[in-house]
Structure 1
Amino acid sequence: MQATPRPHTLTLRFKQHRTTILLEVEPLQKLSEVRALLLHAVQQTHLAGNLNGHSIPQNPDEIKLGRAVDRHNLKLGFTFIDKGQPEEALTGKGKAKASATTKSPTSQVKDCPQGVGLKTGDVVAFKFASQDETGEVGDAIVDMEGDTVEQWDVLIPTVEDTYGDEGADEGIALDED
């Protein structure tokens, strides 16, 4: 379902390597529908069936999404958006932890862009499940707790990449005579 641009729709920037795809999505649209919309856009723009050296999957479930750790500093990396993330409300608080095996009503809200904390203009990294199998991104990185950190192939262009050395020549030259 393509979102008709309205004041409350979100414009998200989906990035893989140097490729950026802009999509309009509803804040409460299911992430599975967002993945399907992204897959359709990728298939329509890359008719050869290949994106940055990776074959485009046929199933939207094979697309992994990641949100920026810090939306203002993308160099800090991305965290995996998992539709089955454990909820704090189900674990309880205090000494005795609550145990629940059923989904709470809020679990449906967590399976949407707004529920995972995305806002309009945010960058969402994406990759295909086949990229994890090939391991082309590099060696696995382990964080302080010993967990493997998800790696994303996202290149953020700098001013130098965009304009080269020409931008440095446009400054005002000061002659001290």
Structure 2
Amino acid sequence: MPPKQAKPDPRSSTILFKKHKTTVLLSLQSHESVTSAKEKLLQALKSRHLSDINGDAVPDNPAQIELGVPVDRSDLEKGWMGLTTDIPGEEDGSKKNGGKKNASDTLQTAGLQNGHSVAFRFRKTGAGDELDTDMELNDPGWDVIIPSFDDEEEA
């Protein structure tokens, strides 16, 4: 009798987290929170003993990780925009559902499905919590390099 193979969970999604030339594939449940995904991303980076990616220090706190979704999923080179979720204390997210806060900030409600790419970056630590508003005004952009066949020819 052949050995039994584990059946894939239909509720799990493989998400590709990208920063510079680094891609981290994580298999996550669609009902997991975005916060949980950030924690698992940080654990994956730490497990590889990465201290920085392209000069940006890997933080110790998953709250310092920001996620971005593609402007156009079919063309990642068009850029990224920040993934907004309802985080306690933030009023921006509370306006989405008629002033009611969304109880779950799951991957599914964020629109992340199997095979989707998500950019990540590290929030710079500075003086106080006011940095978050400064970050929006002076957005440093998303450091994601999309590989192409043209790169081979240039070398």
Q: Contact between 2:15 and 2:117, CA under 8 Å: does it hold in 1?
A: yes
AA paired with 2:82?
F
Partners in 2 of 1:39 and 1:124 — Cα distance? 14
Query: Is the counterpart of residue 108 in structure 1 residue 103 in structure 2?
Result: yes
2:61 aligns with: 59
1:72 aligns with 2:74: yes
- The residue correspondences of 1:81-100 to structure 2 (distance < 5 A) are 81-84=83-86, 85-90=93-98, 100=99
TM-score, normalised on structure 2?
A: 0.76
Verify the 8 A CA contact 1:66 1:81 in the aligned structure 2: yes
Does residue 153 of structure 1 match 2:143? Answer: yes
Per-residue deviation at 1:113?
1.1
C-alpha contact (below 8 Å) 1:54/1:131 kept by paired residues: no
State the number of aligned residues. 136
Aligned residue identity for 1:128: F
Compute the RMSD of aligned alpha carbons.
2.8
Matching residue's letter, 1:30: S
Counterpart check, 1:130 vs 2:138: no
Task: Tell me if the contact between 1:79 and 1:150 (Cα under 8 Å) persists in the aligned partners.
Answer: no
Deviation for aligned residue 1:20: 0.4
- Report what 1:139 is aligned to: none
Matches of 1:66 and 1:131 in 2, distance apart? 19
Q: Secondary structure of 1:38's partner?
A: helix
- Which 5+ residue runs of structure 1 have no aligned equivalent? 91-99, 134-141, 167-177
What is the distance in 2 between the residues matched to 1:83 and 1:26?
17
Provide the C-alpha distance between the structure 1 equivalents of 2:61 and 2:14, rounded to a whole number of angstroms.
23
Identity %: 31
What is the CA–CA distance in structure 2 between the aligned matches of 1:38 and 1:26, rounded to whole Å? Answer: 14
SS in 2 for 1:43: helix
Change beyond 3 A, Cα 1:155–1:48: closer
- The one-letter code of the counterpart of 1:23 is L
How far apart are 1:131 and its partner, in Å?
A: 8.2
Moved over 3 A (4+): 147-150
Following TM superposition, by how much is the alpha carbon of 1:55 offset from its aligned partner in structure 2, in angstroms?
1.2
Q: Distance in 2 between matches of 1:49 and 1:157?
A: 23
Contact 1:63 1:128 in 2 (8 A): yes
